[in-house]
Amino acid sequence: MALHLIKLCVGVDSIEELEADVANRLARARREGMATEQTHTTRMTPTRVDEIISGGSLYWVIKGQVQVRQPILAIRPFTDGEGIKRCHIVLQPALVRTAWQPRRAFQGWRYFKPEDAPCDIADAASGEERLPPDLRRELMELGLL
């Protein structure tokens, strides 16, 4: 069974903003003749790489809610120019919307067990995903969703 990662999407207020950021980074890479793959750089390298790359995803927490995930294609450790060990998490650029799940702030990434992960929107039975994000967030904070 695949293992996932979960991380705060700092500085992003919506899924649409994340989608635009991904598109902009890929377009810039194309213009500069670089590899057109989406990577997220992090300082800590996961030790359970085989479990993660066998179908795992990076779940993004946006504004206190898990809202979207991206399948993980590879994890590439490297040492930067200052001698600091880091890693690139290579992500599929397509975002998969998920049912919202509240999550408190934390630093870095965490392992995320499949049984704890929210289902994809396509699999969600309710129509709540059609609500505007601000209304949806407010209803969740009031305990109505």
pLDDT along the chain (145 residues), means of 10: 94 94 94 92 95 97 96 96 95 94 94 96 59 70 66
> What's the pTM?
0.84
Output helix, strand, coil percentages for the chain, rounded to the nearest 5. Answer: 30, 35, 40
pLDDT on residue 145: 61
Taking the C-alpha atoms of residue 90 and residue 93, their distance in angstroms, rounded to an integer, is: 9
pLDDT on residue 3: 97
77 beta partners? 87
- Number of neighbouring beta carbons within 10 Å of residue 46: 20
pLDDT on residue 124: 47
